A and B are shown apart, each in its own frame.
Chain A
Amino acid sequence: MSADRGVPILEARGISKRFGGVVAVNDVNLAVNKGQIVGLIGPNGSGKSTMVNLVSGELNADKGQFLFEGADITGLPTYRRARAGMARSFQLLRLFTSLTVEDNLLLASHMRMKTSIVGSILGRESGLAEEQAARRKARELLAWFDLEAFADKPASDLSIGQQRMVELARGMMSEPTLFVLDEPAAGLSPPNVDKLILLIRRLRDEFGMSILLVEHVMRVVRDLCDHVVVLDSGVKIAEGKPDAVVKDPLVVEAYIGSGWKRRAQG
């Protein structure tokens, strides 16, 4: 699948966010082009997570503007952004624990279906073509992620690695145009990290997915990202190709410097 590179799907313009007296994100610009994997990296406390929550709408920016596929989405609530085509995963795994794996996926397709009290009581929906199509789609995706055996299991019964895969499948279920991955390698064993890298690359290559990837594990960033943005103390300090960025003296200073500071304080 050919990606129209150069056309931005997500643009952040001059985004700032403060918590009390602390400026968590300061005037950050960032763009993800169609079919691109953009990495967002930085030391602990650099504002990556805040930035992700600002993109997905769980937090509202104090200043700046978000454009998604050209439309202004600043101030839209989370669910509206999701409906516009933005899916996300969470740093700390999040699944609906009392529902089955299949139901977890189905919920991600609800946004395209109607629900009403009367319709639900009359039971019109269970036989509806869209519900059946959604179930078929969920099964296909679960097969793609090698999870079809767990479709009817409660999500809480799965291992951490499997739950990560369910999160990815859930994201894909909503047919997003942008997938925001918040530290997907966190808590995974090295072989599972390899598997994850392959999967994310396939998401891009097979589905033409645009991805904003927040990551700690440098190997993942180097292997996957077309473009990397580095934050430090809420400020963008560098961006560019992964190999060039990691050699940038400012970036080296940010990582090693903060390491030194932390050691000196601790």
Chain B
Amino acid sequence: MRNISLSLAGILLLALLPFGVGGYEVNVAMVILFYVILAVGLDLVSGYCGQFSFATGAFYGLGAYTAAIMNRDLGTSVFVNLPAGALVAGLFGLLLGIPALRLKGHFLAIVTIAFQTIVYLIISQWTSFTGGQVGLTMANVGPVTVFGVTLFEIASLRAYYWLTLVMTVICVFAAWRLANSRLGREWIAIRDDETLAAAVGLDTTRGKLTAFVASAALAGIAGVLTAHSLRGVTPDDFTIWISATVVAMMVIGGRGTFIGPIIGAIFLVLMPEFLGRFAEYKMLIYGILLVVAITVMPEGVVGRLRQRSAR
């Protein structure tokens, strides 16, 4: 009950944010929301189901490029692109999930890195379709129409921020439901002991694939939202460093806890804002933080706090 009221208070606060701060802060808040979706999504497959993925950036990019290309070729709005981006990224998640059925640990890590690299090579090299290194620009979100009837317009940053907030709340809620469902219980079982999971009759193949698909689809949604917010995409927004950042958020916050990756995302996005002129060292600091976190606190901040309170 306390958790629900805290969440509602947090959402309300975020909803009121644009009335209290300027455009820059609203943009930062929006970036936090994108990363919250990414980190929560990664946690489903890596934290709950125990399957490595250094490919979050690739799924993020697949969602974003789906939005940009559909917007260019079909003139679709964000509301059509959102399910499309989730679908495309989810399908690629299924594709990456197939090797994961046979591979574990470092082998899987290598395959996800290779996948991330392949996706990057494709979006940066296939110039005629993706715009190559320059990327693509997109029109303003503008009026939202259904069969030619204008429903409402998303013209301002504020309106787009609210849309992002609503989508983030939906995504996080969906992830929370998944983590606490029968499916979530199966994911944890696969993480804990795959042999045993099969011995009690769980279809571990299906369990892993659902985790990969759910995680990728969430990253795809974050990608669509990002593409529309930046009004364009470039390959360099979806490098392996994005994957590294999201892994760091999850690990620092606490793998396999629900709230941990959210806290990690907020912390790592806000941190450069307080670094002043050292903000350009952001990725250096993320890397060091990741090393330090996994060395001294592999269970993450939230995991550590839980261990403390359990004692």
A residues sitting closer than 8 Å to B (CB atoms) are 56-58, 77-79, 82-83, 87-88, 90, 94-99, 103, 106-108, 110-111, 113, 115-117, 119-123, 125-126, 131, 170, 174
Contact = CB atoms under 8 A, between A and B. Distances in A.
Contacts of A117: 178, 183, 210, 213-214
B201 A115 contact: no
A128 B83 CA distance: 28
A182 B196 CA distance: 13
Which secondary structure characterizes the binding site on chain B? helix
Nearest to B173: A121
B299 to A, nearest CB: 11
Interface in B212-266: 213-214, 256
A170 B185 contact: no
Interface residues of B, number: 28
A102 B181 CA distance: 14
Contacts of B210: 115, 117
A93 to B, nearest CB: 10
Given A120-B177, A170-B200, A174-B201, 11 more contacts: A79-B197, A79-B198, A79-B204, A88-B199, A98-B191, A107-B189, A111-B201, A120-B182, A120-B183, A125-B181, A126-B181
B59 to A, nearest CB: 15
A99 B185 contact: yes
B188 interface: yes
A192 to B, nearest CB: 22
A115 B186 contact: yes
Contacts of A123: 177, 181
Given A117-B183, A117-B213, A120-B183, A78 B177 contact: no
13 contacts: A57-B198, A58-B195, A58-B199, A79-B201, A82-B199, A82-B200, A90-B199, A94-B196, A96-B189, A107-B185, A107-B200, A108-B201, A110-B186
Nearest to B203: A79
Interface of B: 174, 177-178, 181-186, 188-189, 191-193, 195-204, 210, 213-214, 256
A126 B200 CA distance: 21
B213 A56 contact: no
B201 A106 contact: no
A51 to B, nearest CB: 16
A256 B200 CA distance: 37
Contacts of B196: 90, 94-96
Contact of A111 (B174, B188, B202): B202
Nearest to A124: B181
B198 A82 contact: yes
Contact of A107 (B174, B186, B195, B213): B186
Please provide the 8 A-B residue pairs with the shortest distance between their CB atoms, ordered closest to farther: A111-B201, A82-B201, A120-B181, A78-B198, A96-B192, A108-B200, A121-B174, A94-B196
A160 B178 CA distance: 32
Given A98-B192, A126-B181, A78 B186 contact: no
A101 to B, nearest CB: 13
Contacts of B200: 82, 87, 107-108, 110-111, 170, 174
Contacts of B192: 96-99
B195 A99 contact: no
Given A88-B199, A94-B196, A115 B177 contact: no
B202 A107 contact: yes
Nearest to A114: B182
A115 B213 CA distance: 14
Nearest to B90: A117
Nearest to B174: A121
Nearest to A85: B201
B188 A106 contact: no
A94 B186 contact: no
- The CB with the most chain A CB atoms within 10 A, among B177, B182, B195, B197, is that of B182
A125 B182 contact: yes
Contacts of A56: 199
Contacts of B214: 117
A96 B191 CA distance: 9
Nearest to A131: B182
Contacts of B177: 120-123
Given A79-B201, A99-B189, A110-B201, A120 B184 contact: yes
